[in-house]
Amino acid sequence: MKRFSRINLLLLLAVVLLAVAPVALGLGSGEEPFAGADALAEQAIVDDHPDYEPWFSPIYEPPSGEVESALFALQAALGAGFLGYYFGVARTRRRCRIAEQPHE
Amino acid sequence: MHIAEGYLPPIQAAAWFAVSTPFVVHGSRALVQQVRRDPESKLLLGAAGAFTFVLSALKIPSVTGSCSHPTGTGLGAVLFRPPVMSVLGGIVLLFQAVLLAHGGLSTLGANIFSMAIVGPWVAYAVYALIRRLGGGLDVAVFAAAALGDLATYCVTSAQLALAFPDPATGFVGALVKFGGIFAVTQIPLAVSEGLLSVLVVRLLTRVSGDELRRLGVLRKPAVQA
């Protein structure tokens, strides 16, 4: 394997390790381990300011956790799909360019 | 870093809108100019937006035992300058507020300020500084993306501390509390975002050298690998 690809793989591996390690080491605690930080902040506000009433509520809320995670997956898929498309196009363009100018 | 719908007092929510709006308006102009000046960069612009789309959808476990997500705005800030990212980041936040009930319309101004304005500007400042000091592209991109990500969560903590000072210890106590929830959780994720941004820039250097040179990210002619 070339050095370029090896470093790229190592970068990916490091990211996976950083994500898996907290779960593997069982660092989650409380009622719902690995809850979202956004939800924890909301909870902290409710705990310290019990009289605060949110004055505006979401216009649309996904009806269930499943629908919500589907929409999150959709968001990630759209982004990843476009990134893949970009790299496909850029790679092909580069190949065409190299094929046109063999003496570069 | 999403402040939930309705969780900022009306006056503060309005104030954050007032602060963010000029940045987004200026950013929209910068975006239009960028596309006019260099129509071929449209695709890469889309890729920078797509990167933010993916990363902000991924909730990743962290050492604090909670989950959070990267922002992905540092990469675009390095490639296209921060004003453009205030628009791309704003679109992502709007999508999440409307369809996912994640964040909110009333708190959109505050969330845009942290994720689409401060994050990109911090990232770009770090990038420019390291490059000027002679640092390599990889190092500059890593530090830019990681610190931009972290800055976003520090701003969110400060925004919430301003809105909800601790009953006993005031603003500082609340800042420590929200910082513990957001900023500390974010440290490993910021590292992840830095690594992923470096990965994408490495791949871009390989396949889109001309684009990067036009954007001023690469200076020298590409080394044929």
Residues A67 and A51 in one domain: no
Residues A19 and A48 in one domain: yes
* Assigned token pair, B21: 């709006």
Domain presence at residue B3: no
Residues A68 and A25 in one domain: no
Label residue A61 by pLDDT band (50, 70, 90): confident
- In this prediction, residue A102 carries a pLDDT of 66
CATH code where residue B41 lies: 1.10.1760.20
Residues of B in contact with A33 (CB under 8 A): 65
- In this prediction, residue B172 carries a pLDDT of 96
Domain presence at residue B5: no
Higher per-residue confidence, B200 vs B100: B200
Give the integer Cα–Cα distance in Å for B53 and B192. 16
- In this prediction, residue B24 carries a pLDDT of 98
pLDDT tens, A7-46?
A: 999 999 999 999 999 999 988 777 788 888 998 999 999 9
- In this prediction, residue A31 carries a pLDDT of 74
Residues A16 and A41 in one domain: yes
Residues A81 and A47 in one domain: no
pLDDT tens, B132-164?
A: 999 999 999 999 999 999 999 999 999 999 999
Residues A5 and A48 in one domain: yes
Residues A15 and A49 in one domain: yes
- In this prediction, residue A60 carries a pLDDT of 87
Residues A49 and A72 in one domain: no
pLDDT tens, B183-195?
A: 999 999 999 999 9
Nearest CB partner across the interface for A11, out of B65, B199, B211: B199
Domain presence at residue B218: no
Is the pTM above the cut of 0.95? no
- In this prediction, residue B225 carries a pLDDT of 46
- What domain range is A44 assigned to? 1-57
Residue B30: pLDDT above 80? yes
Domain presence at residue B205: yes
Identify the top-confidence range among A71-75, A90-94, B76-80.
Answer: B76-80
Mean pLDDT of B94-98: 94
Nearest CA in chain B to A34: B66
Residues of B in contact with A57 (CB under 8 A): 5-6
Run of H or E residues at B94: helix B82-99
Q: Do B65 and A86 touch (CB under 8 A)?
A: no
Residues of A in contact with B63 (CB under 8 A): 21-22, 27
Residue B221: pLDDT above 70? no
Nearest CA in chain A to B47: A83
- What domain range is B30 assigned to? 10-211
Q: Please count the structural domains in chain B.
A: 1
* Assigned token pair, B96: 């999440």
Share of chain B above pLDDT 90, in %: 93
CA distance A100 to chain B (A): 16
Residues A72 and A85 in one domain: yes
Residues of A in contact with B188 (CB under 8 A): 18, 22
With tokens 């902040």, the residue in question is A41
Mean pLDDT of A50-54: 90
Residue B224: pLDDT above 80? no
Backbone angles phi, psi at B136, to 5 degrees: -75, 165
Backbone angles phi, psi at B89, to 5 degrees: -65, -40
At A85, which amino acid appears? Y
Q: Please count the structural domains in chain A.
A: 2
- In this prediction, residue A87 carries a pLDDT of 96
C-alpha distances in Å from residue B147, one per residue of A71, B3, B109, B199: 28, 20, 21, 17
* Ordered strands of the B60-61 beta sheet: A35-36, B66-68, B60-61
